[in-house]
Each structure stands twice: as structure tokens, then as C-alpha cells.
């Protein structure tokens, strides 16, 4: 039902290297090019020059993160104990509209301790027991709320109740996987290392982990040791679809946090472990699997490569990519900067200064599906910029209105990403538009294309969103606008479903 349209960049371009960064239609993420100048000891070595992405940052053989579900008050205390021993956690949040979550202060504290936040649905339902439109809203609205309140990109997700299969709907796992990808999520540490296959997604676009618990209320060192032993063995033999990623979880129920700390202290400070959070692992692995190196020219001892990589705001990537150059390399320079070297031809390649993650994130909500001009609104985070979204179901199109109310022009193109529910066969439309001048208002209309006529997709309320990434004088920014609309003929649809 949901073919894998999201072929990896490397998968698509790997067979057509002469295309460089010309994106094939199947490529979902936006990308950009860097130029890499690699100097070798001899011209022969330069002729043979080749680059590859490392599966983990330099010197690391396993990624180790921790996973903590639900918006419980003890999250910060857990993050402190983790940080004390050199670990990080990902806190998968459901309810974020109250207390220290609503104003973002808890998220900021978690982030300051090196941890990250992930999505876990708005109201923590069994996704397998609600209609497909409610499912999409639970997932996408949760991501939007966490991002706009925490001012941070969210790329990871875990299932409520580990529920993704249905006895009455064999297509349920694919529906959930499709909703997740449409919502802009890219992975998460479920207990199944092959979670991508379970969700009917490519392991190049959905990144999992090997997650284990050590007794949520009474942490046991023996279980910690046993599970790490199992995980390291599987990493050694390369049998995990998710790559070398172990994660300790799952619930933040330990009454004695010091006891928990004593357990994890036994495996702290391993030099070849990468103590990361899920956001970092998911983004790093997406980059490692989807970055393309194209050798453009060789002059004497110098080989010039074009590196085609994903724009950071598409994946939530913050860290440089580890790369290995073929034998004999002396230096590597990207856009005038000498790359940090780790010996053995290993370097790290950071993203361009011009391509950074958003630091200002806001959202406006058009719950009544007013006409776009009437719904135009600014989030207090970015008062100089208003946005709205309206779903014109009769016209089968989305209407987005943008207004630059400030006195300065937007810098560079504005990247619009429209996210649609399962009724529409294409769930993501990307459109990059010219920047808005000071005071300019602009209306964008996007045809939504073919629909799926399965009436089960007309149950409930459609939820739509547009994600707008751009750069203002204040820095990199992201604004969301959402719209909610009941199907045009819900009664007729319901009647058809009720027929035997
Ligand atoms: Zn939960």
C-alpha cells in the first residue's frame, strides 16, 4: 500500500554517480554540496583516491544511548545522573502542554545536560486502535508541540505500549511507518533492532536500536551485563539492521537513582564507546548512509571531491560526519577549512556554517480551517513573521499564506515542507520559494494530488501541516502552520463503512 518512495540518496545516485547532486524524483530529503580537496603523498595515490563515510564517529565501535518514555517529572534527575557518569538520554515526551514542559524549561534543562527529546504521541493512545487520521495527528502534532516549546529539532520517536500490529489489519505496521515518515521523524530505539523492516521502511531512512531494560524499578547489574554482552556480540558480527546501536531503557521509575547510577558507572568511560542520545545516532547514521562522494578531478597530488549530503534541518544533524580517505592522504580541506585528522586517513567533516539547525521554532494552529488570509498569525517566538495553512478540500489543495511583517528581508530561499494524512497518496510536498521582502505577503497553493479511495481513510478529521525553514536576521528559524478539516461527506462515508 505504501511503496518505499524514500529511496536513499546513495541508493539512487550510487548507480548514477555522474548525476552529482541532481536529485532524482525518489529522493526525499533536500541536500547540498561541499567541495573537499584531499592532498596525497604521491600523484598515484591521488589517482586512486576514494572516500567513505564511517558508520560511527572516529575511534568508536558502538553507539550507546539511553531511552526514557513519557513526560514524567523525574526526567531531569535521571538526566543529571546520566551526565554524571558520561551518558546521555533521549526523553520521549507525550504530554507537553503543562508545567515545565509547556514553557520549554524542562526540555532546555534536559538538552543542557546533553540529552535529547523525542516524540511519543500527544495523548499516548494505542496507535493500532485509533483511526488513521487520529494516528497521524497524534504523531505529527506531538512533534510540532515538542519542537516549538523546546526550540529543538525532533527526529526520533517511540511507540506507546510498543503497539504497532493489529489482528484485524495486516497493513497496520505500514500505516504507522508511513505516518511517522510523513511527520518528519527518522527513527528511535524500539526494542527491535529491525524496527525499520517491521514498519515496512528502508533501514536507510528509519534508524533503530537494540533496546533493553535492566528492571525499571529495581535496576540490576546482572541484567545490564547480560544485555550489553548480547548487544556487543551482535554488533561484532554486524547482525543488527539498525547498525551498532545499544540503548538502555525504558521507564523512569527507579526510586533509587543512586543505585541506577552505580550500575551504569560500571561501563562508563569506555574509549571506544560513543555515549550519545538517539537524536545524534539517528542523524549520524542517516548521514553516513545517505552521503555521496563524487571524485571530480585529480591534479598532481590533489584529488577534488564533491560531497553531496543532506541539509541538517531535514535530519536534525548537529555533529560532523566521520570519513576515511584511501591510503597516503596528507590533508583534507573543505571550503577553505582544514579538517580535523584522527590518523589512518580519518577526518571529520562538519556542516557548512550556512547550514545550521533552527534555533527559533514556532507554530500556529488553524483548528477551524479558516481561509488562509483570515488565519494568518505570528508565533511570539518570531513576531515579525506570520503564517497560516488552510485545507481547501473541494479544490483538493493546500493554501499557505506567509507574511514578512519585519523591516528586513528574509535571507536565502524558504523551504516549505507540506505534510499530509494518509488519504493523499503523496504524503510530503517540498517547495522552495524565493525569500520574502520586508512587508511582503505571499500566497502559495499546492495541489494535493491523487487520493486513496479507501473510505476508512475518511474517518475522523484530517490533519495537515506546513513546515517552513528559513533564515532571518535573528538566525535560522522554523515555523509550522497546521489546519484541521473534517472530510467533505463524513456521513456518507460512515454509512458506506457500516454496510455489511
Ligand atoms: Zn509511554
Residues in the chain: 500
Q: How many CB atoms lie within 10 A of CB 350?
A: 16
How many Å lie between the centroid of ligand 1 and the Cα of residue 477?
30
Max distance between CA atoms of the chain, in angstroms, equals: 77
Does some domain include residue 340? no
How many Å lie between the centroid of ligand 1 and the Cα of residue 160?
4
259 and 399 inside one domain: no
Q: What is the DSSP letter of 405?
A: -
Q: Which domain holds residue 218?
A: 62-285
How many Å lie between the centroid of ligand 1 and the Cα of residue 242?
22
471 and 375 inside one domain: yes
Pair type for strands 89-93 and 62-69: parallel
Distances (CA, A) of 328 to 48, 49, 139, 331, 343: 10, 9, 48, 10, 11
How many Å lie between the centroid of ligand 1 and the Cα of residue 161?
6
Q: What is the DSSP letter of 160?
A: G
Distance (Å, whole) CA 179 – CA 419: 10
How many Å lie between the centroid of ligand 1 and the Cα of residue 235?
27
Does some domain include residue 400? yes
Tell me the three cell numbers of residue 200: 515496512
How many Å lie between the centroid of ligand 1 and the Cα of residue 79?
18
How many Å lie between the centroid of ligand 1 and the Cα of residue 128?
14
How many Å lie between the centroid of ligand 1 and the Cα of residue 85?
25
How many Å lie between the centroid of ligand 1 and the Cα of residue 71?
8
Query: HSE-up of 57 (CA within 13 Å, CB side)?
Result: 18
Query: HSE-up of 91 (CA within 13 Å, CB side)?
Result: 31
How many Å lie between the centroid of ligand 1 and the Cα of residue 4?
28
Q: Which residue, 285, 309, 342, sits at the end of a domain? A: 285
How many Å lie between the centroid of ligand 1 and the Cα of residue 467?
26
128 and 252 inside one domain: yes
Q: How many CB atoms lie within 10 A of CB 24?
A: 12
Question: How many domains does one find in the chain?
Answer: 2
How many Å lie between the centroid of ligand 1 and the Cα of residue 190?
12
Does some domain include residue 11? no
Q: What share of the chain is helix, strand, coil (3-state, %, to 5)?
A: 25, 30, 40
- Looking up residue 162, the CATH number of its domain turns out to be 3.20.20.370
Distance (Å, whole) CA 131 – CA 124: 14
Question: Could you tell me which residues are beta bridge partners of residue 322?
Answer: 348
pLDDT in tens, the chain (500 residues): 443 333 444 343 333 333 334 443 345 799 999 999 999 999 999 999 999 999 999 999 999 999 999 988 889 999 999 999 999 999 999 989 988 899 999 999 999 999 999 999 999 999 999 999 999 999 999 999 999 999 999 999 999 999 999 999 999 999 999 999 999 999 999 999 999 999 999 999 999 999 999 999 999 999 999 999 999 999 999 999 999 999 999 998 888 899 999 999 999 999 999 999 999 999 999 999 999 999 999 999 999 999 999 999 999 999 999 999 999 999 999 989 999 999 999 999 999 998 999 999 999 999 999 999 999 999 999 999 999 999 999 999 999 999 999 999 998 899 999 999 999 999 999 999 999 999 999 999 999 999 999 999 999 999 999 999 999 888 999 999 999 999 997 544 444 444 43
- Which regions of 350-488 does DSSP assign to beta strands (E)? 360-366, 377-378, 385-392, 397-404, 411-419, 428-433, 441-447, 462-472, 475-485
Does some domain include residue 298? no
Q: Which residue, 239, 263, 285, sits at the end of a domain? A: 285
Does some domain include residue 43? no
- Cell 520521549: give the residue: 92
Angle at CA 327, nearest 5°, toward 325 and 329? 65
Does some domain include residue 195? yes
Distances (CA, A) of 443 to 378, 392, 405, 407, 446: 16, 13, 15, 19, 10
How many Å lie between the centroid of ligand 1 and the Cα of residue 189?
13
How many Å lie between the centroid of ligand 1 and the Cα of residue 419?
25
Whole-number pLDDT of residue 454: 93
Whole-number pLDDT of residue 490: 56
Whole-number pLDDT of residue 472: 86
- Looking up residue 420, the CATH number of its domain turns out to be 2.60.40.10
Whole-number pLDDT of residue 339: 98
- For 112, list phi and psi in degrees, rounded to 5: -60, -25
CA nearest to 136, candidates 467, 419, 488, 494:
419
Contact 441, 393 (CB under 8 A): no
Does some domain include residue 164? yes
Give the distance, in angstroms, between the CA of residue 221 and the centroid of all CA atoms in the same chain: 32
pTM to 2 decimal places: 0.93
Q: How many CB atoms lie within 10 A of CB 233?
A: 10
Whole-number pLDDT of residue 14: 35
69 and 211 inside one domain: yes
Q: Which residue, 242, 262, 285, sits at the end of a domain? A: 285
How many Å lie between the centroid of ligand 1 and the Cα of residue 123?
10
Does some domain include residue 292? no
Distance (Å, whole) CA 77 – CA 66: 14
How many Å lie between the centroid of ligand 1 and the Cα of residue 121?
9
Buried b (16+ CB within 10 A) or exposed e, 140-177: bbbbbbbbbbbbbbbbbbbbbeeebebeeeeebbbbbb
How many Å lie between the centroid of ligand 1 and the Cα of residue 89?
15
- Which regions of 83-232 does DSSP assign to beta strands (E)? 89-93, 116-119, 210-213
Distance (Å, whole) CA 77 – CA 71: 13
278 and 163 inside one domain: yes
94 and 212 inside one domain: yes
How many Å lie between the centroid of ligand 1 and the Cα of residue 74?
14
How many Å lie between the centroid of ligand 1 and the Cα of residue 124?
6
How many Å lie between the centroid of ligand 1 and the Cα of residue 81?
21
How many Å lie between the centroid of ligand 1 and the Cα of residue 287?
28
456 and 371 inside one domain: yes
How many Å lie between the centroid of ligand 1 and the Cα of residue 69?
5
Q: What is the DSSP letter of 409?
A: P
How many Å lie between the centroid of ligand 1 and the Cα of residue 92?
8
Does the CA dihedral 52-53-56-58 come out positive or negative? positive
Amino acid at each position: 500500500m505504501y511503496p518505499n518512495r524514500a529511496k536513499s540518496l546513495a541508493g539512487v545516485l550510487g548507480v548514477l554517480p555522474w548525476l552529482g547532486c541532481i536529485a532524482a524524483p525518489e529522493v526525499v530529503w533536500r541536500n547540498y554540496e561541499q567541495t573537499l580537496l584531499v592532498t596525497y603523498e604521491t600523484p598515484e595515490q591521488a589517482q586512486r583516491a576514494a572516500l567513505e563515510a564511517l558508520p560511527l564517529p572516529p575511534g568508536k565501535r558502538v553507539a550507546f544511548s539511553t531511552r526514557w518514555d513519557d513526560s514524567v517529572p523525574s526526567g531531569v534527575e535521571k538526566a543529571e545522573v546520566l551526565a554524571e557518569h558520561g551518558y546521555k538520554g533521549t526523553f520521549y515526551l507525550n504530554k507537553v502542554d503543562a508545567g515545565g514542559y509547556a514553557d520549554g524549561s524542562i526540555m532546555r534543562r534536559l538538552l543542557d545536560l546533553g540529552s535529547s527529546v523525542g516524540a511519543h504521541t500527544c495523548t499516548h493512545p494505542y496507535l493500532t486502535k485509533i483511526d488513521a487520521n487520529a494516528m497521524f495527528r497524534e504523531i505529527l502534532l506531538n512533534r510540532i508541540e515538542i519542537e516549538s516549546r523546546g526550540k529543538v529539532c525532533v527526529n526520533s520517536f517511540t511507540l506507546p505500549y510498543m503497539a504497532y500490529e493489529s489482528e484485524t489489519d495486516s497493513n497496520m505496521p505500514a500505516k504507522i511507518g508511513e505516518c511517522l515518515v510523513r511527520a518528519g521523524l527518522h527513527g528511535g530505539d524500539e526494542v527491535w533492532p529491525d524496527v525499520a523492516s517491521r514498519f515496512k521502511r528502508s533501514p536507510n531512512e528509519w534508524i533503530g536500536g537494540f533496546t533493553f531494560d535492566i528492571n525499571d524499578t529495581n535496576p540490576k547489574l546482572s541484567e545490564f551485563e547480560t544485555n550489553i554482552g548480547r548487544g556487543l556480540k551482535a554488533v561484532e558480527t554486524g547482525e543488527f539492521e539498525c547498525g551498532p546501536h545499544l540503548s538502555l531503557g525504558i521507564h523512569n521509575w527507579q526510586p533509587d537513582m543512586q543505585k541506577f547510577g552505580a550500575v551504569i558507572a560500571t561501563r562508563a568511560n569506555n574509549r571506544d564507546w560513543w555515549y550519545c542520545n538517539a537524536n545524534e545516532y539517528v542523524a549520524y547514521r542517516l548521514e553516513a548512509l545517505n552521503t555521496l562522494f563524487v571524485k571530480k578531478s585529480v591534479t598532481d597530488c590533489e584529488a577534488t571531491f564533491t560531497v553531496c549530503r543532506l541539509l541538517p534541518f531535514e535530519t536534525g544533524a548537529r555533529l560532523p560526519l566521520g570519513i576515511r580517505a584511501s591510503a597516503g592522504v596528507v590533508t583534507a580541506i573543505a571550503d577553505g577549512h582544514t579538517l580535523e585528522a584522527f590518523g589512518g586517513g580519518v577526518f571529520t567533516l562538519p556542516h557548512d556554517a550556512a547550514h545550521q539547525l533552527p534555533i527559533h521554532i514556532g507554530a500556529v494552529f488553524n483548528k477551524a480551517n479558516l481561509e488562509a488570509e483570515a488565519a494568518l498569525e505570528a508565533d511570539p517566538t518570531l513576531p515579525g513573521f506570520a503564517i497560516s495553512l488552510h485545507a481547501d478540500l473541494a479544490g483538493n489543495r493546500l493554501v499557505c499564506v506567509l507574511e514578512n511583517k519585519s523591516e528586513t528581508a528574509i535571507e536565502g530561499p524558504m523551504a516549505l515542507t507540506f505534510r499530509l494524512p494518509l488519504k493523499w497518496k503523496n504524503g510530503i510536498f517540498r517547495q522552495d520559494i524565493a525569500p520574502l521582502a520586508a512587508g511582503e505577503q505571499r500566497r502559495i497553493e499546492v495541489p494535493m494530488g491523487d487520493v486513496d479511495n479507501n473510505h476508512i481513510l475518511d474517518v475522523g478529521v484530517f490533519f495537515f501541516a506546513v513546515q517552513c525553514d528559513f533564515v532571518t536576521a535573528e538566525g535560522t528559524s522554523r515555523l509550522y502552520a497546521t489546519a484541521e478539516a473534517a472530510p467533505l461527506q463524513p456521513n456518507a462515508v460512515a454509512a458506506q463503512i457500516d454496510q455489511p
